[in-house]
Amino acid sequence: MLDQLNKINLLFDIYSPLLTERQQEVLHLYFSDNYSLGEIAAEYNISRQAVYDLIQRALGSLNKLEEKLGLYRLFNEQQKLLSEAESLLNEDTMTGYKVERLKSILTELRITSEQ
């Protein structure tokens, strides 16, 4: 559940400019400010069902954008590589293998940033 919420928040951070203003506002209220469906409905003078439908459509849009653009996936891949590099650098000794792996990580990061 928490992983899903983190994913939604990252997708929102990445793709929110591509959503409608209303979708942005409602998703922010629901996921960031923890408003209930009823509170959002009262704020916009619409039904709870309309709020639910709006959230579901917006989440669908975020997922479709991710399928097409893959920026969330790319971000996660880069974060894993950076964590591995940091871990290698924090070790006491620097072996030839570690140097080669760091070079490989840099190459992978360069390639993914060019995509």
40-93 tens-digit pLDDT: 999 999 999 999 999 999 999 999 999 999 999 999 999 998 888 888 888 888
87 and 98 Cβ atoms separated by less than 8 Å: no
Provide the residue ranges of all domains of the chain, joining segments of one domain with +: 2-69, 73-114
Number of helices (H), then strands (E), belonging to the chain: the values are 6, 0
pLDDT in tens, 11-50: 999 999 999 999 999 999 999 999 999 999 999 999 999 9
Those residues whose C-beta lies under 8 Å from the C-beta of residue 109, and which sit 6 or more positions away, are: 78, 81, 82
CATH number of the domain located at residue range(s) 2-69 in this protein: 1.10.10.10
Residue 70: phi and psi, rounded to 5, are 65, 25
Contact 62, 11 (CB under 8 A): yes
